[in-house]
Amino acid sequence: MTQPLKVLLIDDEIDFVETTGKRLIRRGYLAKTALTCAAGLEIITSGWPEVVVLDVMLPDRDGMDCLREIKEKWPTLPVIMLTGHASMETGLHGLECGASDYCLKPIDLETLVEKIAIAHRESRPRGA
Amino acid sequence: MTFFVDRLTSFFHGKPRLTPAELQAAFRGHYKEFRALLTANNNALELMAEMEQALGPGHPFGMTFVRGNCTALSVNIYKMIQHLTRLADGRYAELDQPFRAITKQLEQVIASRSVSTEGTTILAMNEVDASTVDQVGEKMANLGEVRNRVGLRTPDGFVITASAARKFIEANDLQVEINRRLKGLDLDNLEALYTVSAGIQSLISTAPLPAELEEAILAHHRQLETGSETELLVALRSSALGEDSSNVSFAGQYRTQLNVSREFVGQAYKEIVAGKYKSQAIVYRQQRGFRHQDVQMCVGCLHMVDGAVSGVMYSRAPDDPRSPFVIIQAAPGLASTVVDGSAASEQFRVSRTAPHAILHRQAATAQSQSLTEAQAAELGAIGVRLEEHFGTPQDVEWSIDQAGLLYILQSRPLGRPASVEPQEPDEHSTTADSLPSPLLRGGVCASRGVGSGPVFTVRSSLDLLRFPKGAVLVIETPYPDWASLLNRAVAVVSETGQMAAHLATVAREFGIPAIFGMNQALATLKNGSLVTVDATAGKVYAGRVEPLLALAAPKPNLMAGSPVYKILTEALVHITPLNLTDPTSPFFRPEACQTLHDLTRFCHEKAVVEMFTFGERYGFNDKAAKQLVVENSPAQWWVIDLDDGFTPDFNPESRYVHLGHITSVPMQAIWQGMMAFPWGGPPPVSLGGLGSIIFQSTRNPSLDPAVRSAMAAKNYFLISKNFCNLSVRLGYHFALVEANLGEFLTENYVSFQFKGGAADQNRRLLRIRLISEILSEFGFRVEQKVDAMTARIEKKPGPYLLERLRVLGYLLIHTRQIDMVMADEGMAASYQQKIMADLHTLMDTPTEG
């Protein structure tokens, strides 16, 4: 039996994080949500999440900045960037900063779930 | 060639000395990179196909689609380069240069239009069209299309853009305060909702406009006034940006202010911007998950038309998308009186075909007719024209001024009728009484439209292969597998199923009419008999019913030639052309990559080579490739295990491997296909055929085995449990089959490349066409370039892909001799029949493993 994957959603769109969180839990994942970068960092500091889904725009901080801090302190923690505003520049910049993937809203749950699982698998020292 | 370069590089890097355990770990690390690269490749190729398809008919798209796909594409290719660089221990970093160059060009293409308007606070109506939608909102973008692309008269004026609204809110630092007030708002508490809504609106409408913006508005207003003798009055119309525009029910929620004089323009503008926080709008956005700050109020400021008679027009009856008439509502005065229902209006039905005669007139009171025949005809023609331009029935606001000039004030998609149930026989329809009585009626309309052709019943995958182009597909259950037939079918009738079935979605996408849940379809509709399917009405008729076919809705072709279409076309120039086709060419180099497709091709090829030469670079190559023990095979086969492709009990020291030791699911499927039918040796060859082969062989150096890379000289399987890459050289054919069947659909694919072959150009082309046709029938996306072809399927479930792998295995073995006998098209057809018969049998073979 594998442990359910722990996913942290950092996004200030309350509706989005709440529904996505609930639906992930229904899929057998463990999900926590944070509306700000600071709240997200707090949860990450506790060592809880295995995968982070991070919005590019956050109220308290630039999402890219938030990503940079996460990857600096927890370089192996996979972070998937999510945004409603596609931009090649931020997309590539996000990957350069160590993001595992960069996806666009709206994203269907099926796709997001696969991206989370793949990001998690690729982050482990030896692939399954 | 590549081999030589690789060797040189590893020589300079020095061969690493590793222990066996370290070697194993290094190898698995490399394999992980390889697999991630393949997934990114899979995503990238799918995105490219999606963008190319968007240029075809029936796929409306906006800049969001273009920008989103370009972003996703460049992200995936960036990943491919990263994975390849790690896979190759740091080499190929120079790919970054062409990658940066191409993405920079792409960015310029995407920005080409929006850069000019980005930050602009005001755009004149002459500058507005669909491409400026991100600045002017949907409503004004449509009006700009009517004015500048359809060429109809619309009021002069300008749009105060999304940037202007953003600047206004930012200058007063309002967003934080607005969000604070909205936070935790209970939508069910109406009193609180109204209080908050009113508070925010007053916050906005009492804030001062930035001086710069106010001056700009007044300057444009002055310009508009030039030449006008009387005082200029304008209408200010809201044009929201960022909301789901397909939701017509929400239209009209925002404010329009009429007859605004110069001194009140600023205030009227602020009030319309404030209207974004009307209580209904707040509720709507929160329920639908839109962020308030992502929705912007763009405002059109338009010359008031002094309407003598005004009204609305529907290019079709709202409850009947194929009505042969336009409906016009007219009333004296301004158009708003008709829209809000305050004036008694007169209704006209005007024929959609020239000379657009009035078919019917209905007035609430005994008033005199408000429109002349000529005016009604002009309006009717415009309704049809606008529907053609926008590709969907339109709801148009119009006004005829005192001088008799007709102005279009607005054009937007006509709301769909609330009912999606199949329509009952429409007695009012002008065509209803002239139709024969149907063979079948009922079911649900899964996809609208009318289609006619011979019936072809499909009961199993065997029938799938025989399905003729232009037939009516008749099935019992709408299995997703039948989707591959939809580009050949003219209509679908299924005994079971409903609107939400996957096949229904695909049918709508292809614009193929479909009726599901039609009882007795299989029993009533005889194979080969000609029928007409009216999916909109839920009826099937015998024979061709011309009046119905004539009514079939026009296929929307809105995008062609539009600015967004042009941008996508220009973007694709940097994306899809493939210049790096031949890995053995000296131009197969990073600096030769001109498109994103080139980069994917290069990365993929080099990644395979890296995996292949890993053993060599790390010093255990002589043991890596195992020879497959097989009987009665026309060739030798070698297998390299990348990870978990052999059973644990396999002795790694052995030089041979038996099929029983191979755990690779895709390899087993290919092998089954290859061995399902005995290879009978080359068929009898006519003298011309043989002569042609010898002639080609002596003068085409690329057919000389010594010139080919070492890798292609033998037949190699690179495998893991879920993965297989097979490079084949059989006779004069070069083929590459690659497949991954992982735990996630995102990673699943089968790809096939085929090139070369003896015999002359004509025969090779016939053979490629034959293979292309067969693979298309099996749902492959096939691309053909002279005598080389690639075929791909992505993101399908495992069993589906295994079936395709068996087909490829079969084709690998059995087409090698075909071109020799392809003297003419007749031979090709008979070969196709033989192959199809074999494949039918093969499809019935259960999958092993």
Cα dihedral B333→B335→B339→B342 (10° resolution) = -10
Provide the pLDDT for residue B7. Answer: 36
Give the DSSP letter string of B472-515: EEEESS--GGGGGGTTT-SEEEESS--TTSHHHHHHHHHT--EE
Residue type at B545 in one-letter notation: V
Report chain A's C-alpha Rg in angstroms.
Answer: 13
Q: Do the Cβ atoms of B78 and A92 come within 8 Å?
A: yes
Is the CB of residue B92 less than 8 Å from the CB of residue B77? no
Q: Do the Cβ atoms of A15 and B32 come within 8 Å?
A: no
Is the CB of residue A115 less than 8 Å from the CB of residue A29? no
For B432-551, CATH number? Answer: 3.50.30.10
Is the CB of residue B533 less than 8 Å from the CB of residue B545? no
Query: How much is the average pLDDT of A44-64?
Result: 91
For B307-413, CATH number? Answer: 3.30.470.20
Considering only CA atoms, which of B545, B317, B516, B522 is closest in space to residue B421? B516
Provide the angle, in degrees to the nearest 10, between the axes of the packed helices B211-225 and B265-274. 120
Q: How far apart are CA B640 and CA B616, in angstroms?
A: 12
Q: Do the Cβ atoms of B70 and A86 come within 8 Å?
A: yes
Which SS3 state, helix, strand or coil, does residue B630 take?
Answer: coil
- Given CB atoms, is B70 within the 8 Å cutoff of chain A? yes
Q: What's the length of chain A? A: 128
Provide the pLDDT for residue B339. Answer: 55
Q: Do the Cβ atoms of B71 and A104 come within 8 Å?
A: yes
Q: Do the Cβ atoms of A91 and B286 come within 8 Å?
A: no
Would the pLDDT of B555 be above 60? no
Residue type at B162 in one-letter notation: A
Cβ partners under 8 Å of residue B519, min gap 6 = B440, B442, B443, B495
Q: How far apart are CA B87 and CA B614, in angstroms?
A: 9
pLDDT digits (tens, 9 = 90+) for B713-770: 578 898 999 999 998 876 667 889 999 998 888 889 999 988 766 666 677 777 787 8
Is the CB of residue B223 less than 8 Å from the CB of residue B157? no
- Give percent helix, percent strand, percent coil of chain A, each to the nearest 5: 45, 20, 35
Is the CB of residue B383 less than 8 Å from the CB of residue B408? no
Distance of CA B835 to the CA centre of its chain: 32
Which SS3 state, helix, strand or coil, does residue B359 take?
Answer: strand
Q: How far apart are CA B196 and CA B277, in angstroms?
A: 9
More confident: B784 or B40: B40
Q: Do the Cβ atoms of A86 and B28 come within 8 Å?
A: no
The answer to whether the bond into A106 is cis (omega within 30° of 0) is yes
Provide the pLDDT for residue B703. Answer: 37
Say what the pTM is: 0.56
- Given CB atoms, is A109 within the 8 Å cutoff of chain B? no
Provide the pLDDT for residue B156. Answer: 93
- Given CB atoms, is A69 within the 8 Å cutoff of chain B? no
Count CB atoms within 10 A of the CB of residue A64: 18
Chain A contact set for B42 (CB, 8 A): none
Q: How far apart are CA B278 and CA B198, in angstroms?
A: 8
Chain A contact set for B747 (CB, 8 A): 118
Q: Do the Cβ atoms of A92 and B103 come within 8 Å?
A: yes
Provide the pLDDT for residue B378. Answer: 92
Q: How far apart are CA B504 and CA B499, in angstroms?
A: 6
CATH superfamily of A1-56+64-87+98-107: Response regulator (3.40.50.2300)
Query: How much is the average pLDDT of B19-26?
Result: 75
For B130-303, CATH number? Answer: 3.30.1490.20
Q: Do the domains B432-551 and B130-303 match in fold?
A: no
- Given CB atoms, is A101 within the 8 Å cutoff of chain B? yes
Nearest to A91 among B25, B74, B179 (CB): B74
Domain assignments of chain B as residue spans, ordered by start: 2-115+563-612, 130-303, 307-413, 432-551, 620-843
CA distance to partner chain A, nearest, from residue B617 (Å): 21
> Which of B241, B502, B744 is best to mutate for the A interface (most A CBs within 10 A)?
B744
Nearest to A91 among B75, B286, B746 (CB): B75
Find the helix or strand (DSSP H, E) in which A53 lies: strand A51-55
pLDDT digits (tens, 9 = 90+) for B418-449: 333 333 333 334 445 567 888 999 888 888 88
Q: What's the length of chain B? A: 849
- With cut-offs at 50, 70 and 90, classify the pLDDT of residue B823: low
Residue of A nearest to B748 (CA): A114
Would the pLDDT of B601 be above 60? yes
Would you tell me which residues 175-214 of chain B have a C-beta closer than 8 angstroms to some C-beta of chain A? Answer: 179
Domain assignments of chain A as residue spans, ordered by start: 1-56+64-87+98-107
pLDDT digits (tens, 9 = 90+) for B158-215: 999 988 998 999 889 888 888 888 876 776 677 788 888 899 999 999 999 999 899 9
- Given CB atoms, is B72 within the 8 Å cutoff of chain A? yes
CA distance to partner chain A, nearest, from residue B82 (Å): 10
Would the pLDDT of A13 be above 50? yes
